[in-house]
């Protein structure tokens, strides 16, 4: 190992790293996608990095909710915090196995391990009064949506796409298992943590933890983890090679490098889509504002090139 061996990177892999397209959602396709992602992560380890992997879980949560609905007349339904734990286990298992197999193939002697991770949120977070995070599938009519309202869900009409359930997306405050993750990283393990943004929990009056029905933004939680681990790099792996201004217009400009000030300016100017690039840039801004040294946004196949400065968008403090 070279002198970079002590450097730690937190890589947030997007949903596209598991599910490439809407017509390829079956588990065998997820295995193909996760194995492809594993190759790019293991290449970083070969370059001497300690790596902590975080991941999304949106589609998988949707599938479990749908199974709940279809089977409700036979078996109990599952609360959202437990669904979060389920997906951390299943996606973590797939990543673990794919990473282990890839490391064995290339002669890297390390083990991958998944930590089921709880993330503390404030029970008085205003997000609980104003749920905005869409969850599960779309419904064509309010009659269909009303059934969920009667079960205690909030439903909203989504511009032109139908009705959908929404839940709170509170701000992550603390990674409960941070010390465990840190110990594993120091022990040379490849750690998978904060899956799906972490399982949202609050503390009651006695200080005991309790799960809440919410969804934490994966990139925000990953930035918090990267800060907690004092990571040298926060890397967000997504569907595009570079961050762009005026995305999908004739005036599109791909960015190779951005400072923290520029990122904040572009965000204020409305360059980044609320449901796509905006939360990623926001997470990077948090990481850099709180002392993080460097962030990169790129797609999985360009991770190695981005680390050499040949691809992706690098975001630095100044």
**Catalytic sites, residue numbers:** 15-16, 133, 218, 280
DSSP 134: E
Q: Are 296 and 288 in contact (CB under 8 A)?
A: no
Taking residue 272's Cβ as centre, other Cβ atoms within 10 Å add up to 20
The runs of H, that is alpha helices, within 166-314 are 178-186, 218-228, 260-268, 278-289, 303-307
For 137, list phi and psi in degrees, rounded to 5: -85, 170
Q: Are 39 and 102 in contact (CB under 8 A)?
A: yes
* Interatomic CA distance for residues 104 and 171, integer angstroms: 38
Bridge-based pairing of strands 199-203 and 118-120 is: parallel
- Alpha carbon distances (Å) from 242 to 307, 309, 313: 13, 12, 5
Coil, strand, or helix at residue 89? helix
Q: Are 60 and 15 in contact (CB under 8 A)?
A: no
């Amino acid at each position: 190992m070279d002198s970079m061996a002590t450097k730690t990177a937190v890589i947030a892999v997007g949903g596209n790293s598991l599910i490439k397209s809407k017509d390829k959602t079956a588990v065998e396709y997820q295995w193909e996608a996760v194995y492809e992602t594993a190759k790019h992560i293991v290449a970083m380890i070969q370059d001497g990095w300690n790596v902590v992997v975080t991941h999304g879980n949106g589609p998988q949560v949707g599938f479990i909710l749908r199974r709940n609905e279809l089977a409700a007349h036979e078996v109990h339904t599952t609360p959202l915090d437990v669904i979060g734990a389920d997906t951390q286990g299943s996606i973590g298992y797939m990543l673990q196995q794919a990473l282990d197999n890839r490391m064995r193939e290339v002669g890297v002697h390390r083990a991958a391990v998944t930590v089921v991770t709880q993330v503390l949120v404030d029970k008085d977070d205003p997000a609980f009064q104003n749920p905005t995070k869409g969850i599960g599938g779309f419904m064509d009519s309010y009659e269909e949506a009303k059934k969920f309202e009667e079960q205690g869900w909030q439903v909203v009409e989504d511009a032109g796409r139908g009705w959908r359930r929404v839940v709170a997306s509170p701000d992550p405050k603390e990674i409960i298992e941070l010390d465990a993750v840190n110990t594993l990283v120091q022990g040379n393990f490849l750690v998978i943590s904060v899956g799906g943004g972490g399982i949202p929990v609050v503390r009651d009056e006695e200080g005991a933890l309790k799960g809440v029905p919410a969804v934490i933004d994966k990139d925000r939680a990953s930035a918090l983890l990267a800060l907690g681990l004092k990571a040298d790099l926060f890397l967000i792996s997504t569907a595009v090679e570079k961050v762009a201004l005026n995305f999908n217009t004739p005036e599109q400009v791909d960015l190779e490098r951005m400072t923290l000030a520029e990122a904040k300016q572009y965000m204020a100017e409305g360059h980044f889509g609320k449901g796509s690039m905006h939360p990623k840039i926001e997470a990077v801004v948090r990481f850099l504002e709180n002392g993080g040294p460097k962030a990169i946004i790129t797609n999985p196949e360009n991770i190695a090139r981005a680390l050499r400065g040949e691809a992706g968008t690098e975001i630095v403090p100044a």
